[in-house]
Amino acid sequence: MYLIAEIGFNHEGDMTLAREMIAAAAEAGADAVKFQTFRALDIALYSSPHFAQIKCGEMGWEEHCQLKATAEERGVDFLSTPFSKWGVGLLTRLGVPAFKVASMDCTNKALLEEIARTGKPVYLSTGMANVSEIGETLTFLKEQGSGPVSLLHCLCLYPADAGCLNLETIPFLKSLFRIPVGYSDHYPGTRACLAAALLGADLIETHFTLDKTRQGGDHHHSVEPAELKALVEDVREMEVMRGSKDAIYKRPDRACAQAFRRGVYASRNLEKGHRLKEDDFLFARPTSDFTPNDRVFLLGKEIKKDLAAFHQISREILQP
């Protein structure tokens, strides 16, 4: 499973902090760090109440280069979400391995067309989108020559309530569209991510911060380094636990059947010539020539020699 630490604009324009966050995410075991590539006017009007807040998170070419270099040094992928043609161009020039599309742009064909033309893989968040909108976007991206697309089930609620998560959407979307589906988290802590992993999410994106008590940004519903490390460890263990559905045909515990299943034994001493009755049977471990399912067959059968209690009723002891 691919695990993305969503730094977003939690760095608030502080490049030293941003590099520290990359290092911490890598140390915790994330596969990728993700930022946001925008100019404030790409997202909101000057009059918007959060314009000033996002303005501080703007980054230019040099900042992007610095952060990508730091990510490469730390051995994690550098990803970012573009919010305009300018952002797509910058990230294309930077050489990102894939593009993340925010939920707000899930149906924005002007931006989607620019991203599709790069031919890069796309991680598409689906917050606020209904099934027909998701399907239409997937068709559009394919028509425009997009690289492979992975969906991310997402709730555009900050934070989202447990009752709104509807994580069963993940296997539903996988079955419906036959493509990878992951989960982009806005729920406090790591439990929703773990549940998504158990439901078959192919990738997980969770907001990341060094201090969730900081004001502004997405800090309050982000995970801190220790939480991210625990999430990575838990998800990796869950991947092992999930295994493969084909394992039912080659069960590792099949060899235990002989020791754990029941055989048929004499419940008391039986004499030669005795015809077996219901209360002669003791069904106990381990297996023997007969199983409890042979009870009806054994009833009335004559034994041809004495049989001590707790010895198996074998085929050779029965009269033909």
Which SS3 state, helix, strand or coil, does residue 161 take?
Answer: coil
Nearest to 110 by CA among 144, 152, 147: 144
| pLDDT(102) > 90 | yes
| pLDDT(67) > 90 | yes
Reported confidence tier of residue 12, pLDDT bands at 50, 70, 90:
confident
Q: Across the chain, how many H-helices and E-strands are there?
A: 12, 10
79, 98 contact by CB (below 8 A): yes
Instruction: Report the pLDDT averaged over residues 40-65.
Output: 90
Reported confidence tier of residue 54, pLDDT bands at 50, 70, 90:
confident
| pLDDT(217) > 90 | no
**pLDDT tens digits, 72-90:** 999 999 999 999 999 999 9
Residue 302 CA to residue 320 CA, distance in Å, equals 9
Q: What's the mean per-residue pLDDT of the chain?
A: 95
What is residue 216's predicted lDDT score, i.e. its pLDDT? 67
- In the numeric block, the tokens 């060899």 are attached to 255
| pLDDT(32) > 70 | yes
211, 224 contact by CB (below 8 A): yes
Burial label for 211, CB within 10 Å (0-12, 13-18, 19+), is: exposed
**pLDDT tens digits, 119-166:** 999 999 999 999 999 999 999 999 999 999 999 999 998 888 999 999
Residue 115 CA to residue 147 CA, distance in Å, equals 9
Which of these ranges, 60-74, 143-157, 206-220, 275-289, has the smallest mean pLDDT?
206-220
Return the C-alpha torsion angle 304, 308, 312, 313, nearest 10: 30
- Domains of the chain listed by start with CATH number: 2-243 (3.20.20.70), 254-317 (3.90.1210.10)
What is residue 212's predicted lDDT score, i.e. its pLDDT? 86
Amino acid at 31: D
Phi-psi region of 256 (alpha: psi -120 to 50; beta: other; left: phi over 0): alpha
Which SS3 state, helix, strand or coil, does residue 205 take?
Answer: strand
